[in-house]
Amino acid sequence: MSFPKVSVCIPIYNGESFLQEALDSIAAQDFQDIEVIISDDNSKDRSLELCRVFKDCQPFPVHIFSHRPSGIGANWNNCLDKAQGEYIKFLFQDDVLEPDCISSMVEVLYSNDDIGLVASKRNFLIESSIDQEFVKRWIGIFGDLQTEFEGEKKPFLRLTRSIFGKESFAELPLNKIGEPSAVMFRKKFFETLGPFREDLKQSLDYEYWYRILNIAAIAILPDKLVGFRLHAGQATNSNRKQGIIDYEAYDRILYDKYLPLLHKSTRRRLVKKYNPAYLLKDKVMLKLKLTRKKWSS
């Protein structure tokens, strides 16, 4: 039985507004040794109808799966569970791929055994529904995720786990790689590193990229091969409005998994935050302070 080279994974939920553009961008790819895996989180709009029409018109296999809603991470993992390809290419329902996106990324992974994940720069598709002042601030911080890294950028910038040791690694932008639509990675990592963490909401993508980076290099292509859409209804913006932020959980991950690799200032901050000896010291100092205050009054 032969398997496709690339599994294009599309987790969907009520995505009819932009989904057709995403699907059309897959059909326009100049690399067609693919399968499309669509995992639907019980959409109530026309998303499934659009997917079924798309399936009937394509020369490559399109598989549509229903998924019981239990968070975005669970839907991503369901896509990966069903995927048969050697490489995983996520595409979110809001985003689009340039026609040479998949072929360009496949070439990097096929030609470089030490590369575990490849990402590209992004174009931004800005909808009028989103606060434009927020967009300006967002692009100012997240517009280019790799500006701090030096090195040869042609044919790509090669990142290794040495970036964990940079002082800026624990500073914004915390995601130094890219959103899921901007990356492709080897399916074998899903089997060796496990699934995405379903308890995370904002950081589950780059937490996974750093798991890969800990054991393999990552390539950043200089070309903008993905259109990343900014609009009021997207998950990132909704999470921001609801105050759903993973900073605390992400700090704990850094402490538990990467502490020896981090910059000394980051190590110091995390040890002070999580090491029991430091926590005990803080409690003792507070108790002494309160005792002195009591006796002086």
Reported as a single tens digit per residue, the pLDDT across 255-291 is 999 999 999 999 999 999 998 776 566 566 666 666 6
Does residue 163 register a pLDDT over 60? yes
> What is the pLDDT, as a whole number, of residue 232?
85
Number of domains in the chain: 2
pLDDT at 242: 45
* Dist CA 284 CA 181 (whole Å): 49
Q: Residue 258's closest CA among 272, 277, 243, 271?
A: 271
Is there a single domain that holds both residue 277 and residue 227?
A: no
Secondary structure (3-state) at 195: coil
Mean pLDDT for the stretch of residues 126-151? 91
Co-location of 98 and 222 in the same domain: yes
Cβ 170 vs Cβ 266: under 8 Å: yes
- Measured between alpha carbons, how far is 206 from 218 in angstroms, rounded to an integer? 12
Domain that holds residue 268: 263-297
Are the C-beta atoms of residues 118 and 218 closer than 8 Å to each other? yes
- 102 pLDDT more than 80: yes
Q: Within a domain: residue 236?
A: yes
- Does 107 have pLDDT greater than 80? yes
Mean pLDDT over residues 176-183, rounded? 98
Per-residue model confidence (pLDDT) at position 125 = 96
Which region among 157-161, 194-198, 256-260, 278-282 has the lowest average model confidence (pLDDT)?
A: 278-282
Domain match, 249 and 272 both: no
pLDDT 10s digits, 54-100: 999 999 999 999 998 888 999 999 999 999 999 999 999 999 999 99
DSSP string, 39-104: EE----SSHHHHHHHHHHT-SS-EEEEE---S-HHHHHHHHHHH--SSEEEE--TT-EE-TTHHHH
Helix (H/G/I), strand (E/B), else coil: 291: helix
* d(C-alpha 87, C-alpha 81), whole Å: 13
By three-state DSSP, how is residue 224 classified? strand
**CATH code for the domain in which residue 81 is found:** 3.90.550.10
Is residue 269 domain-shared with residue 254, that is, in the same domain?
Answer: no
The per-residue b/e assignment along 270-279, b for 16 or more CB within 10 angstroms, e otherwise, is beeeeeeeee
Question: Is residue 250 located within the same domain as residue 267?
Answer: no
The answer to whether residue 194 is domain-embedded is: yes
The per-residue pLDDT of the chain, averaged, comes to 91
User: Does 293 have pLDDT greater than 90?
Assistant: no
- 11 contact partners, CB below 8 Å, separation of at least 6: 39, 41, 72, 75, 76, 78, 79, 90, 92, 93
Domain check: are 288 and 154 in the same one?
Answer: no
Q: Give the pLDDT band of residue 159 (cuts 50, 70, 90).
A: very high
Confidence of residue 237 (pLDDT cuts 50, 70, 90): very low
Helix axes 204-213, 72-82, angle to 10 degrees: 50
Please give the average per-residue pLDDT across 132-138, as a whole number: 93
Domain membership of residue 1 (yes or no) is no
Mean of pLDDT values over 146-164:
89
286 plus 251 within the same structural domain: no
Contact 221, 154 (CB under 8 A): no
The SS3 assignment for 196 reads coil
Per-residue pLDDT at 277: 79
Peptide bond into 173 cis (omega under 30): yes
DSSP at 91: -
Read off the pLDDT band of 3 (50, 70, 90). confident
| Whether residues 103 and 240 fall in one domain | yes
